[in-house]
Amino acid sequence: MMLVESLLSVDKSSQVPVYLQISNGIIRYIRQGTLKPGSALPASRALSTTLNVHRKTVVAAYDELYAQSWVDVIPRKGIYVAKNLPDVAPRPIEKAVMKHSLANKTSFKVDDNRIGPQRMFVGIPDGNLTFTEGFPDTRIAPVDLMVREYRRMAGYHFTHKYLMYGPEQGSENLRNELARFLGETRGLHVTPGDILITKGVQMALYLCAQVLVNKNDIVIVGDPGYNGANEVFEQAGAQLAFVPVDEHGIDINAVEAICKVKKVRMLYVVPHHHQPTTVTLSSKRRMHLLELAAKYQFAIIEDDYDFDFHYTSGPILPLASADYYGNVIYVGSFCKTIAPGIRIGFMIAPQNFMVQATRLRRLIDRQGEHLLEEAMASLLKNGDIGRHLKKANKLYHERRDILCRLLQEQLGEYISFKIPSGGFAIWVKYLHDLDTAIVSKKANELGLSIGAGLDYYYDKSVRHSFVRIGFASLNEKEMLEAVSIWKKAIMKCLHLA
């Protein structure tokens, strides 16, 4: 017995619970053969005294060992290393099978073009500052409030039900709170049954495309536009029809011209802070678009990913708030409200579409993360999300103004831009025939990661001079340094440095 007590040690500062340190330590010595099958283990009181831990901690460690079949408990005698230990040694496989498993291609046919290549996230070099293309500052995310809700739920006697399967449309509590929240902030008169919880906007777009689009269906998108949506529609078999984007949003006259000669199945639009140009679709164009959708019977996917962030004027209500004919599918997300890693999005649509989308959601992902959704429901109900939005709006408004001032003062002769009314980014145009990709490369070498401007327009062979610059995720000190590096990169490209 003294052997076990002398071998084990615990680190109370470790993030690993002490009882697991004890049980894992004993398992390690069993595997090594130091503790033989049938060996007696110390009594819980004796071991707790030696390790200077509570006796219940040792009892929990022994319970863990018993649950994993590492020990036998003999009444009125004690605890012993199991004689029939769990089989944990890896088994060798036949050489022929091993050889085949190392092949880099399958022996069955795979269509290498079924899923087209997508832009991969390129890792940011360590130490680099980053101008994202428009993300919130994760450092101000209310993670502590989220953790508080998890802890609170841990004490509820009914929490176990959230660890079982829940509603396929998502947490009922979250959908109730979302219905209230969206009614107050966006004028959407919806019920919980009208809402499907998704893991962000991207999943919602995928569900829409798979439910609606058949091979060669026409889907209208803006150009420049959001490449992530275009890829989803094309993968579903759509033919993309492009319309230009100006300072008032997508060109609705161009949409109408397409509708007159082709049967349009769907139109995708980002009416607030269009991705990537940041422009807002005007009220006149919104009403015209709804009329066209009703006349030509096509679906509108309204992506309102950052509706909650406005700085200089009140938001225009979503298309969905004036959709009297059932043409609009409204999608949004908390990934921008809180942080990209908090994967909660939502879709609002008429019932017949909602049934199909929910059935498809069930096929690819039985349901969302129930505990996370319940925590989010509590944050909405308590007003925590509303308070966070107010603080974030104030902070991001200040950061927008700081960056716009810096750009005008430091880079005014090299770039042009308009101050965005909301959102997280600025749409910048390079002057003097600067090459976006070369500027990006030079900046990266100097310690600043900045977009190369290659994915905004569908035709990648045509060179454009725009880049999208996020301001929300950097503080003032970081912005000062980032703009200084950016200027050096530009001047190197112009051979002025």
Q: Which class would CATH give 129-135+388-493?
A: alpha beta
C-alpha–C-alpha distance, residues 425 and 451, integer Å: 12
Amino acid (1-letter code) at residue 474: L
Among 132-136, 148-152, 156-160, 350-354, name the one with the lowest average pLDDT.
156-160
Residue 118: per-residue pLDDT:
67
Strand partners, 300: 267, 328
169: Cβ contacts below 8 Å, ≥ 6 apart:
175, 192, 193, 195, 196, 197, 354, 358
C-alpha–C-alpha distance, residues 394 and 400, integer Å: 10
Domain extents in the chain: 2-81, 129-135+388-493, 143-382
Mean pLDDT of the chain: 87
Nearest to 132 by CA among 482, 449, 454: 449
Amino acid (1-letter code) at residue 455: D
Cβ atoms of 60 and 19 closer than 8 Å: yes
What confidence tier does 115 reach under pLDDT thresholds 50, 70, 90? confident
Decide yes or no: CATH 3.40.50.1820 for domain 143-382. Answer: no
Among 28-37, 85-94, 428-437, name the one with the lowest average pLDDT.
85-94
Of the segments 106-120, 177-191, 306-320, which one has the largest average pLDDT value?
A: 177-191
Q: Pick the residue with more confidence: 119 or 312?
A: 312
Say whether pLDDT at 89 is over 90. no
Say whether pLDDT at 155 is over 80. no
Q: Do domains 129-135+388-493 and 143-382 have the same CATH topology?
A: no
Say whether pLDDT at 159 is over 90. no
What are the structure tokens assigned to 46, written together? 């004796």
What are the structure tokens assigned to 58, written together? 């040792």
Residue 456: per-residue pLDDT:
92
Question: What is the average pLDDT across 119-128?
Answer: 59
Residue 1: per-residue pLDDT:
46
Question: What is the average pLDDT across 479-486?
Answer: 96
Say whether pLDDT at 123 is over 80. no
Residue 39: per-residue pLDDT:
87
From its phi and psi, is residue 440 left (phi > 0), alpha (psi between -120 and 50) or beta? alpha
Question: What is the average pLDDT across 455-475?
Answer: 91
Residue 99: per-residue pLDDT:
47
Residue 94: per-residue pLDDT:
53
Residue 100: per-residue pLDDT:
47
Say whether pLDDT at 298 is over 90. yes
My answer on whether omega of the bond before 276 falls inside 30° of 0, hence cis, is: yes
Question: What is the average pLDDT across 189-200?
Answer: 93
C-alpha–C-alpha distance, residues 320 and 483, integer Å: 39
404-424 residue pLDDT tens: 999 999 999 999 999 999 999
322-357 residue pLDDT tens: 888 899 999 999 887 778 888 889 999 999 999 999
Residue 7: per-residue pLDDT:
76
459: Cβ contacts below 8 Å, ≥ 6 apart:
none
What confidence tier does 119 reach under pLDDT thresholds 50, 70, 90? low
Residue 3: per-residue pLDDT:
63
Taking the whole predicted model, whether its pTM rises above 0.85 is answered as no
- Give me the CATH topology for the region 2-81: Arc Repressor Mutant, subunit A (1.10.10)
Angstrom distances, CA of residue 480 to CA of 397, 409, 448, 486: 17, 11, 12, 10
Among 67-76, 226-235, 412-421, name the one with the lowest average pLDDT.
67-76
Residue 370: per-residue pLDDT:
79
Residue 408: per-residue pLDDT:
96
Residue 5: per-residue pLDDT:
65
Of the segments 35-49, 105-119, 302-316, 442-456, which one has the largest average pLDDT value?
A: 442-456
